[in-house]
A = this chain, B = another copy of it.
Amino acid sequence: MEFPSKLIEEAVNEVSRLPGIGKKTALRLVLHLVKENENRTIALTTALSKLRANIRFCKTCHNISDEDVCSICKSHRRDKGVLCVVEESNDLLAIENTAQFTGVYHVLGGIISPVNGIGPDELKIASLIDRVAQSKGEIREIILALSPTMEGDTTAFYLHKKLRDFPAKITSIARGVPVGGELEYADEVTLGRSITSRTLFS
């Protein structure tokens, strides 16, 4: 694609580095900013700069936080005995939005992926093991809430191996047909799994 302006070209190049945004979408976004009031662009770039310069991570669970310890870890209303292990902060947010979980989290910051060169040492796994050890049995359950993919399964398997000697029960989020989905459209692996992992009707 040829651009009428170097400024546009540079902006499109930078925006299209974002995940899931190609050159065409980037161009549309950039032209939108050009058309709008300059204050909008200033607000956007200021918010991003401030975020990147000042962002911190919770020392306990590695979730994104404005303080040293995040509001979830600090809260007295959360059950510190149930620890939910997630890949990234957005998984944590997704679970929080369900309002179904009252325990605490541990954010790995990624997933074991040999293809992308990410091994256990690149993730917050040592810190997880340390945290479970330090709790001296206070942590009763560790929920592995990882994506149902090859990498997710590998990571879950690795974590299970490292954590099984602690007294905590290790569980995994349920896999089955999604709520609201039609049975006939569920893929066969999921459907098979939903039959073998059937639960008592209640």
B19 x A28 contact (CB < 8 A)? yes
Number of A positions contacting B (CB below 8 A):
59
Is A17 at the interface (CB under 8 A from chain B)?
yes
Contact A50 B19 (CB under 8 A): no
Stoichiometry (number of copies): 2
| Closest CB in chain B relative to A91 CB, distance in Å | 10
B55 and A5 form a contact (CB under 8 A): yes
- The answer for the CA separation of A15 and B27 in the assembled complex, in Å, is 15
Cα of A35 to Cα of B63 in the assembled complex, Å: 12
21 residue pairs bridging A and B, Cβ less than 8 Å apart:
A3-B93, A4-B65, A4-B70, A4-B92, A7-B47, A7-B51, A8-B64, A10-B47, A10-B50, A11-B51, A14-B47, A15-B48, A17-B44, A18-B32, A19-B29, A27-B90, A28-B90, A34-B64, A35-B109, A42-B49, A45-B48
Binding site for B on A (CB under 8 A): 1-8, 10-11, 13-15, 17-21, 25, 27-35, 38, 40-45, 47-55, 63-66, 70-72, 88-90, 92-93, 96-97, 109
